[in-house]
Amino acid sequence: MPTYLTPGVYVEEVEGGPRPIESQSTSTPVIIGTGGRASLPEGAEFGVPFAVNNWTQYAGTFLGEGAMTPLSHAVNGFFMNTQGRCYILDIGRAGSLAGTVEQPGLSVLEGIEDISIVLAPAFTEPADQEAVMAHCEKMRDRVAILDAPREVTDIMSLTRVSTVEAPVTSESPPETGGDGVDSGAARERPPTRTRRQLEAHRPRPCDLATLYHPWILVRDLVTGEVVAAPPSGHMAGLWARTDATRGVHKAPANEPLRGVVGVQRRISSAEQGELNQVGVNVIRLFDRMGTRPWGARTLSDDPQWRYLNVRRLFCMVEESIALGTQWIVFEPNDHTLWNLIVRDITDYLTRLWRDGALMGRTPAEAFFVKCDSETNPADVVDAGRVVALIGLAPVKPAEFIVFKVSQFSGGATTQEVR
């Protein structure tokens, strides 16, 4: 508080009203792969994220002279479906998602806060998909888009979780010669598999990852031919476009995919019924509507995180509140602070409710914010903590539309019988 010694008029600026919390962007992806060049020009390096704002900028930096790579198709698909910014992580032809001694892999993305979508087009091996999912689970503020394998001979293999197993060898003793010395025949014999596994292509359950099948047909910008491409890049563009036009609470499905001329394999309704139950999102070709994603589920086996828009909404809300309340740190931990926390978060969630992101006819039905002496007893305050409980009622997609139709006798009336 200032000290007044000389009589006169003093003007002071004081804080008034809530500190607004702004929603963080959910539309910035990082696309991982190799652009096709053996070496990159100045300003770009292998294994280092590089931001691009349009296809022309990407083509001049990463695209080689040969045919387009899955990374190139994904970047082109992203910019065909939306306008915005994305990061390119070119790991080179000998790079690894998990990282090597020379290149850190996905760990270089941990310092970029505005990344909200992670995709590695055409990386369909279980180890690669596990690296992407583990990165998203570590960061908790981004969601992975995974591609199913290009060739799937058994559609039910997408319902079985893929694993990596070491060969099982027999326990027979080593063969010896007549003089009792190990002949080495057993060591040279290849390991024998004692059991046979069914083909499996579904990643493990993960609420921060989603899987799309089948691959799509696009036109190669270099050769002009129609080729198969992984759908993750086009889907990232569709996610960003839906976020901009409707909001992150809208499920990114039943929207046209731009730049797609077809699908590599047409999935029937019966087949999709099996895939949908395990969180595999099917891209379908309709005669009148064109090519559209017909699913918006995560790979989670937890029903509350089943829908993709719910998971992404919570990622946005958590990050927005964390960044918008930095001013709280080192403030006096008392009732005044608790009331300010409730005020600011309530204002933010009320805006989300008005935008249609939360369920309920009134704000009281849509969310609650609790920060008082009950959530902050003396031992919590003594530990230097402030605890606020926040509950949200997110909107969920209308996935199954049911119209019940019956015959009606027109003109018939009912009378009360006494």
Which residues does the chain have with pLDDT short of 50?
167-187, 191-196
What is the Cα–Cα distance from 293 to 213, expressed in whole angstroms? 9
- What is the predicted pLDDT for the residue at 416? 60
- What is the predicted pLDDT for the residue at 418? 61
- Indicate the pairing of strand 280-286 with strand 143-147: unpaired
Distances 274 to 202, 249, 279 between C-alpha atoms, Å: 13, 26, 9
Give bridge partners of residue 290 from the DSSP assignment.
286
6-52 pLDDT tens trace: 999 999 888 777 889 999 999 999 999 988 777 777 777 888 899 99
- What is the predicted pLDDT for the residue at 167? 46
- Indicate the pairing of strand 143-147 with strand 262-263: unpaired
- Domain boundaries along the sequence of the chain: 29-164+199-305, 325-392
Selected from 3.30.930.10, 3.30.390.50, 3.10.450.50, 3.40.50.11780, the CATH number assigned to the domain covering 29-164+199-305 reads 3.40.50.11780
- What is the predicted pLDDT for the residue at 417? 57
Question: What is the token pair recorded at 257?
Answer: 């995919």
Phi first, then psi: give them for residue 342, nearest 5 degrees. Answer: -60, -40
What is the Cα–Cα distance from 101 to 37, expressed in whole angstroms? 22
- What is the predicted pLDDT for the residue at 44? 76
- What is the predicted pLDDT for the residue at 164? 60
What is the Cα–Cα distance from 396 to 275, expressed in whole angstroms? 20
